[in-house]
Amino acid sequence: MSVLTGKELRIVGFLCNWCSYGGADTAGVARATQPTDLRIIRVPCSGRVNPLFPLKALLSGADGVLVSGCHPRDCHYSAGNFYARRRLELLKEFLPIIGINPDRFEYTWVSASEGQRWQQVVTAFTDRIHKLGPAPRFKDAEPIYDLPGALTSLVRPLDCGGNPALDELKQQIRDALADGHLHCVVGWQQGYDPIHATPLHMRKPEDVDRLIWGPFNIHSTANMITQLIKEAQDAAMVGVKRGDPIPPAKKVGVVVKGCDSKGLVELLQEKLIDRNAVEIFAMGCNGTVSTDRILAKIGNTAARVSAVSGKGDTLTVTADGTEYTMSMNDIAQDKCRACKMPSAKVYDHFAGEPVTVAEDAVPEPAAIMAYLDSLTLDQRMGFWKGQMERCIRCHACRNACPMCVCREVCVADSREPHWVTQDDTVTNKFFFQLIHALHLAGRCTGCGECNRACPVGIPVGALKMQTGRIVQRLFDGYQPGTDADAIPPFLGYEVEEKNIPEHHIERA
């Protein structure tokens, strides 16, 4: 439906039934004149407002979205608005990274008796939207195809020579496999060529021989954990008859770098895995590489690599008969450049000495974030338009994410609810990325696997990094995956929020 052209803009409101909808009614009873633009959707509680609703509205043509609920402490359902406050503040601060002016989204608290205030809120917000004018539409954005190639500096020297304690690690795994209490131990082995690795499921001591540790054990082993635990549970059920007691499943072993362990800890925080279901083997990581960067250095993405050797900063790759030397500085993955936790902090076995980074070392901000920060709102929208044109909806980004435990029932594949449709539009493809980013807010450990997995090289991790920045600011530097007892910020609340400001639209 189109708005009354020339007079109105499309402004959508989500109002909680008990306070704000009542407040709007009170304003009506008092005949408090308001501009006509606003269209109100009634919800039982501001806590019902999934941030995806305002986001969908804004991406689909709304010029402004307003959410209003009971005042904190007065929620009809006692705590709904506490959660809403955190989630909607996240949304508001997230919007600029995709090129939407955050002033177009507002959330506030209006009680059922505050009719006059509701009038002021609606008038002020409508005026604000009119001053901003019609919102730029994503579908009409001019695509920008530039992608920054800048490399950030390494926060510590990286070493592609592997870890001398690898034999110790292998022995620890062999010893653990010996008594059969482990279903398997997952690690890495060489893949089809020396610069590609694949997951290694070690079940017998001989399997352990193939374990590698070095610049090529790139994949997140945390990603495989939930599936392997399920596998172990299923294995325990073999031969069990109905009515028999269910025997305990064997433990699953996992070899982790520092970043992998963060994924594991986040899974522990959310109680998605039991600490007793996993046995963690850890060793210090000296950095991993981007195979794309290696192949770019060689100059041939189809190069046939026959040998690789690494020492210190220098990697020597033999491809198609020619030797290429390259520096870790040029080929290390972006996440390794800024890594401050190369060694797991939660583990059952640790081989060798922990690799640490100085407490006061300050990593450079990610290049993609610096780039996006330098763009205007319209340019950012164009950037994402340009990037998402390439998306083929393979969902590799989702599949590579350790925190994505929904797997076959992912919201992207469902009609109930129908957030993402089959429409082959850039907006639709982009909406999936936004869902993923918001679902990971406060949970993303920055493992960067989504970026790595994307076959067409879209920097989808930037959206999660944006939520990460917001979470750090709102919740006193909170980092997901570092404290197994911490409650993820969007699954909790404080009655008084230190860092979430009050938004007084009517006092503009």
Given the rule CB under 8 A, which residues bind other proteins? 1, 4, 7-8, 10, 12, 17-18, 21-22, 24-25, 27-29, 31-36, 39-45, 47-50, 53, 56-57, 60-62, 73-80, 83, 87, 119, 137, 139, 233, 237, 246, 270-272, 405-407, 409-411, 414, 416-419, 439, 491
Cβ closest to other proteins, residue 2 vs residue 301: 2
What angle, 0 to 180 degrees and rounded to 10, lies between the N-to-C axes of helices 52-59 and 426-439?
160
Cβ closest to other proteins, residue 441 vs residue 470: 441
Q: Which helix (H) or strand (E) holds 199?
A: strand 197-202
Cβ closest to other proteins, residue 25 vs residue 168: 25
CA distance 304 to 318: 9
CB of 59 to other proteins, least distance (A): 8
CB of 230 to other proteins, least distance (A): 9
Asked if 123 contacts 88 with a C-beta cutoff of 8 angstroms, the reply is: no
CA distance 166 to 171: 9
CB of 30 to other proteins, least distance (A): 9
Half-sphere exposure of 492 (CA within 13 A, CB side): 14
Place of tokens 């046995």: 279
Q: Which helix (H) or strand (E) holds 186?
A: strand 182-190
Place of tokens 């008859």: 241
Helices (H) and strands (E) in the chain, counts: 17, 12
CB of 88 to other proteins, least distance (A): 10
CB of 3 to other proteins, least distance (A): 8
CA distance 102 to 88: 11
CA distance 110 to 16: 9
Place of tokens 């993923």: 436
Cβ closest to other proteins, residue 165 vs residue 405: 405
The DSSP 8-state label assigned to residue 289 in this structure reads B
Measured CA angle at 130 (ends 125, 134), to 5 deg: 120
CA distance 45 to 248: 42
Q: What is the largest CA-CA distance in the chain?
A: 85
Q: Which helix (H) or strand (E) holds 68?
A: strand 64-69
Cβ closest to other proteins, residue 78 vs residue 374: 78
Cβ closest to other proteins, residue 135 vs residue 339: 135
Q: Which residues pair with 254 in a beta bridge?
A: 186, 280
Measured CA angle at 107 (ends 445, 60), to 5 deg: 75
Q: Which residues pair with 108 in a beta bridge?
A: 68
CB of 487 to other proteins, least distance (A): 8
Helix/strand/coil for 422: coil
CB of 289 to other proteins, least distance (A): 32
Cβ closest to other proteins, residue 359 vs residue 416: 416
Q: How far apart are the first and last CA of the chain?
A: 30
Cβ closest to other proteins, residue 158 vs residue 420: 420
CA distance 65 to 39: 10
Cβ closest to other proteins, residue 34 vs residue 482: 34
Cβ closest to other proteins, residue 33 vs residue 306: 33
CB of 441 to other proteins, least distance (A): 11
CB of 93 to other proteins, least distance (A): 18
CB of 464 to other proteins, least distance (A): 14
CA distance 487 to 139: 38
CB of 371 to other proteins, least distance (A): 27
Centroid of chain to Cα 495: 26
Asked if 443 contacts 488 with a C-beta cutoff of 8 angstroms, the reply is: yes
Cβ closest to other proteins, residue 74 vs residue 364: 74
